[in-house]
Amino acid sequence: MGKIAFVFSGQGAQYPGMGKELYDSSPAAKAVFDMADSVRAGTSEQCFSGEKEVLNRTVNTQPCVFAVDLAAAAAVCEKGIRPDCVAGFSLGEIAALGFSGVLSYEAAFELVCRRAELMDKASCERKGTMVAVVKLPPEKVEEIASRFEDTYPVNYNSPAQTVVATSEENADALCEAVKAEKGRGVKLAVSGAFHSPFMNSAAEGLGEYLENAVLSEPDIPLYSNVTAKPYGSGDDYKSLIKAQVINPVQWQKTVENMIADGVDTFIEVGVGKTLANLIKKINGDVKVFNVENKETLDALSL
């Protein structure tokens, strides 16, 4: 058997009730939610009982998804399964920073709360949105995006899916341009144009927040969204965390690099199975699981 990787979910798949079964069935998962509540009161309640509209606000989404991600990872470890390396998609990378020991759980959660506040504020200051483009290769998506102002490919998810950040006024025209090229554009239910220059003010604020942060070397390889490679001893971790907010998520390259480094089993920990589905599209030969509730946790068997 090859290496096992945990991949931490990003925002977008959140739903009311997420994490409740993990909280009820796993002491390790419960400890994560208790930690989150000690830092940000009411986080568990938002996950378990919050209305969809409340959960969809970035300032709430990121802390809540982070808590479920880390709780799911803790529950899998409690079951005796530990990863050889980790990666996270967008905010999932912050959960991975905590899991891999770069930051304590508390410090990583405090970071994600601040990140959420800054990105929410940036979204209000400069309105933007995101469009998922499918059925077209990344190169074609880049060409289409270049026809519009303030439009950037930002999530390289799989060979046939690239997410584009753009202004709200450009979104419909972008979808039409994609359709004319025989692709399909789907406007996402997000509150901002993430991983693009729309988030410049958030990146600056995050850089200031990180100035006094104490970061450690990861206990296991942690792959960066920005470089698609493991954080290394020569990297400026604070710069990578700041840059992640305004640079594309290189997810396809990350997964390909993990496979090249010996990973043959991926476990998505957290909300939904978006990453699990993307990994299957990137490479159909690897084993892929997701853990988000008691059923998927109990079914996990390697």
HSE toward the beta carbon, residue 254, CA cutoff 13 A: 33
Q: How many residues does the chain have?
A: 302
Residue 211 and residue 140: Cα distance in Å, rounded?
Answer: 39
104 part of the active site:
no
Give me the residues paired with residue 287 across strands: 265
Select which of 90, 100, 123, 224 is catalytic: 90
158 in active site:
no
**Residue 184 to residue 205: CA distance in whole angstroms:** 35
Catalytic residue among 158, 195, 196, 224: 195
Q: What is the three-class DSSP state of 111?
A: helix
Q: Which residues pair with 262 in a beta bridge?
A: none
- Token pair of 203, please? 């990146």
Q: How are beta strands 152-158 and 222-223 bridged, if at all?
A: unpaired
The C-alpha atoms of residue 9 and residue 134 are separated, in whole angstroms, by 20
Q: What's the start-to-end Cα distance of the chain, in Å?
A: 9
**Residue 94 · residue 102 · CB < 8 Å:** no
User: What tokens appear for 63 in the block?
Assistant: 């802390």
Q: How many CA atoms lie within 13 A of 144 on its CB side?
A: 31
Cα 61–Cα 94–Cα 275 angle in degrees, nearest 5: 70
- Residues identified as active-site: 90, 195
